[in-house]
Amino acid sequence: MTFRRSAPAAIIVAVVVVIAGVTFASSRLFGGLTAAVETGQFQLMQAIVERALRGAGDDALSRAELVTALPTTRQAVAAKDRERLLAEYAAMFAGQKERHGVDQAQFHVLPATSLLRLQDPATFGDDLTPFRPIVVAVNREKAARKGLAIARNGPAIFGVAPVTDMQGQHVGSFEFGLEFAPLLDGLKASYGLDFTVFMEEKRLREFARGLNPAVLSEQNRVGRFIRFHTTNGTLAKALASDADLSSVAEPTHYVRGALGLPYGVLLMPLVDGAGEPLGVMMATSDFSGSRAASGRALVWQICIAVFAIVLLAGITLVVIRGFLLRPLEVLQHRAGALAAGERKGMVEPTDKFSKEIDNLAGYLEKIAKLAETKPAETKPAESKP
């Protein structure tokens, strides 16, 4: 292998390796920044969901406590007077349902028996103990509580407050339940995210006897879950499978493509007051912006790397050939001429070569001149006997 080929090749290979390494490191760094941005988005989505559920629970509980503080409520519940309660609060419930998304309102008597459902007055007297742990806890501990539950009319976010009679004796409880649909629709309008609530079908069929049968249709079934409410059915169907939902024991997230775009998906388990799983809430966000920025950055990094390699390779070839190989060729030809005994046709050094090469050419010129002026050696005459 000649120096003419090996030297530029070695330098160009080194340039390629270094630039490729720098490009890879920068792409990994930018990828890490993109991942950090998406992690921040997932954290924001989780905070939005948690704050919304907590706020809805506070809202439901504050409404319930307003009702339980009224003398009419305390007297009627103590007397188990259903007609009086219905006459007093039926209109109030209708207004709350129409304007504020209140889906359920119910009075209970000890230990956890339905006294009056304002949304379904004809159904009462059933024991709520098997499926309403919040109601049981409120009547046992005589303290207000809030949380998720599946009631007869379906799942909702409940606030349950204790009721005392006029003497301060605990006689029962009252609850407001906020439905999911207005809550999720409001979140989508405020934050531009899509939300879906999946409930376990077995629990819905067992406890939500008054639920609209259309909700339990085959088109809403996802494995053992029912898509109870969604702000984007097509997206929900593409982004969550039974395997995804069944494995959710704590908040989890992933990125998945749907409708030609990448979406960030957050899955959060929904549990009742006793910690029993009820279903899963899914929040989704369009991640095409961050992914597109990452892709554009990678393309630019590759283009810059290719340009740098070509530029440095060209500079390497020009420098080595112009400042090193060409002068070495001149010196090589002259040295060959000297070795062959030629003394003419010398090429004088010029300033287009480097100083070191010019010095070496000058030394060759001096050697050549010394060789021309040196007297030829003569053999001694042989002595005769």
CA dihedral of residues 79, 81, 86, 88 (deg, nearest 10): -50
Based on the domain organization, do 271 and 316 belong to the same domain? no
pLDDT at 36: 77
Q: What is the pLDDT of residue 372?
A: 64
Q: Report yes or no: 119 and 93 within 8 Å, Cβ to Cβ.
A: yes
Q: Are residues 211 and 274 in the same domain?
A: yes
Residues 294 and 155 sit within 8 Å (Cβ to Cβ): no
Q: What backbone phi and psi angles, to 5 degrees, belong to 101?
A: 70, 20
**For residue 344, what pLDDT is reported?**
55
**How sure is the predictor about 128, in pLDDT bands with cuts at 50, 70 and 90?**
very high
Answer yes or no: do 253 and 187 share one domain: yes
Could you tell me the CATH number of the domain that includes residue 274? 3.30.450
Q: Determine contact, residues 282/42, Cβ cutoff 8 Å.
A: no
In a domain, 12, yes or no: yes
Instruction: Say which amino acid occupies 353.
Output: F
Same domain, 174 and 185: no
pLDDT score recorded for residue 135: 94
99 and 168 share one domain: yes
Region of 157 please: left (phi>0), alpha (psi -120 to 50) or beta: beta
Q: Is residue 60 part of a domain?
A: no
Instruction: Please say whether the beta carbons of 323 and 353 come within 8 A.
Output: yes
Please identify which residue in the block is written with the tokens 């490729």.
20
pLDDT given at position 16: 84
What is the three-class DSSP state of 81?
Answer: coil
Of 161, 178, 195, which closes a domain? 178
Rounded CA-CA distance 226/254 in Å is 21
**CA–CA distance from 347 to each of 330, 335, 365, 382 (Å)?**
8, 11, 9, 43
The string of pLDDT tens digits covering residues 226-263 is 999 999 999 999 999 999 999 888 999 999 998 889 99
Tokens of 197: 């609530």
pLDDT of res. 339: 67
Burial degree of 298 (CB within 10 A; 0-12, 13-18, 19+): middle
Q: Quick one: 260 and 337 in the same domain?
A: no
Residue 90's CB is within 10 A of a number of other CB atoms, namely: 15
Assign 170 a pLDDT band (cuts: 50, 70, 90). very high
310 found inside a domain: yes
Does the CA dihedral 137-138-143-144 come out positive or negative?
Answer: positive
**What is the distance, to the nearest Å, from the Cα of residue 236 to the centroid of all Cα atoms in its chain?**
17
For Cα atoms 199, 202, 208, give the angle at the middle one, nearest 5 degrees: 75
Burial class (CB in 10 A: 0-12, 13-18, 19+), 125: exposed
268 DSSP β-pair partners: 281
On whether residue 150 sits in a domain, the answer given is yes
Residues 243 and 174 in one domain: no
Report the mean per-residue pLDDT for the chain. 84
Is residue 342's pLDDT more than 90? no
What residues are paired with 160 via a beta bridge? 145, 175
Residue at 42 is within a domain = no
Which of 7-11, 269-273, 330-334, 371-375 shows the lowest per-residue confidence on average (mean pLDDT)? 371-375
As given in the structure block, the two tokens for residue 85 are 């309660």
382 pLDDT exceeds 70?
no
Work out the pLDDT band at 368, boundaries 50, 70, 90.
low
Residue 74 domain flag: yes
pLDDT for the residue numbered 25: 75
pLDDT band (50, 70, 90) for residue 2: low
The pLDDT value given to residue 4: 65
- DSSP type of residue 215: G
- In whole angstroms, give the CA distance from residue 135 to residue 358: 101
Give per-residue pLDDT as tens, 33-88. 667 778 889 999 999 999 999 999 999 999 999 999 999 999 999 999 999 999 99
CB neighbour list of residue 47: distance below 8 Å, 6 or more residues apart: none
CATH assignment at residue 125: 3.30.450.20
Q: Measuring CA to CA, how many Å separate 180 from each of 102, 219, 228, 233, 380? A: 10, 19, 9, 15, 123
Position 350 pLDDT exceeds 80: no
On whether residue 16 sits in a domain, the answer given is: yes
Query: Rounded distance, CA 338 to CA 344, Å?
Result: 9
Domain count, the chain: 3
What does the alpha-carbon distance between residue 137 and residue 325 come to, in Å, rounded to a whole number?
A: 92
178-231 pLDDT per residue, tens: 988 889 999 999 999 999 999 999 999 988 888 888 889 999 999 999 999 999
Residue 76 and residue 168 share a domain: yes
- The predicted-structure confidence for 92-118, as pLDDT tens digits, reads as follows 999 988 888 888 999 999 999 999 999
Domain housing 345:
3-23+293-371
pLDDT at 296: 65
The answer to whether position 141 is within a domain reads: yes
